[in-house]
Chain A
Amino acid sequence: MLMKNQQNQTYKKYVEARAKKSSLGINFLFAFLIGGLICVFAQGLLNLYTHIGLAEETAKAGVIITLIFITALLTGLGLFSKIAKRAGAGTFVPITGFANAIAAPAIDSKAEGWILGLGAKIFVIAGPVILYGTLASVVYGVIYYIVKLIGG
């Protein structure tokens, strides 16, 4: 048993060493370019929304809603995954990644019905982000509160 374990360890190391890795340089470049383009587009939207007279806070919410809408639409049309295959973190990190993570399972689980399908599975990918994001904000809030108390 011990020998088998050692053999497996050796094999695992060999496999990991020979496995072709994703090309970091190209991935970084595409993530930077496409992610950057999304940010430029968002900034453009913000300028547009404030230009037509929205208050800055409202305009910011409008930008986010627009990006979420476009992502959901592209996801539904089957185009988002094609872009994301190239863009990687470029589409994943902005709000677009989160929107896609909700739209994709919603479309996917439609066949299992509105309740047990779409309703239950819509947060299958985004769920952990929401849960631990909320939890982290609570922890952050407590720390902030204590620091404020001490710092006066």
Chain B
Amino acid sequence: MTRRRPAAAVPSPRPPGPPAADAVPGVWRTLVIGYGSPIRGDDAIGPLAADALAAAPLPPGWRVLSRHVLTAELAEDLAAVDRVIFLDASVRGRPGEVQVCTLEPDAHAISTMAHFLDPRELLAWCETLYRRVPQAWLVSAAGASFDYASYRLGPAAAAAVPVMLAEVRRLAAAPSARTGPAAVP
């Protein structure tokens, strides 16, 4: 089960960092990362939702990753995009309930385990090292069962996948709170 801490509710204004070398004018570089354990029931909803998203044609500038856990080297991937959407399971809420919240870097959210990171800590790594942070959201779905050696989503979690993907598309279509996509000089 993925570790969870309360997410920040309101993004604070922060100037975007320098554009990455592969920035294309007018195109948001969007990274979607689904993460969770594939052998612990509903905890797999993040990577399974990401896989479902990646199975369909993606808009220009999109990249989708499925991961067991969030690891440090993803900081470099975050530094190269304008926005990132994390997909994860949650232990809070009614099973299948989908929640969306914004995320801000938080260096104090240091994970106690080095082989996985809190998404806010990962954003803090990105900010500290690369001087830029993408806009970030967490789209989570409450799970019902996180038992070991369980390789399938429960009915409520399975029903939440299309809802999560709809939220991803809604976030991607919404105007940004910050300036537009990086322009290449």
Binding between chains A and B: no
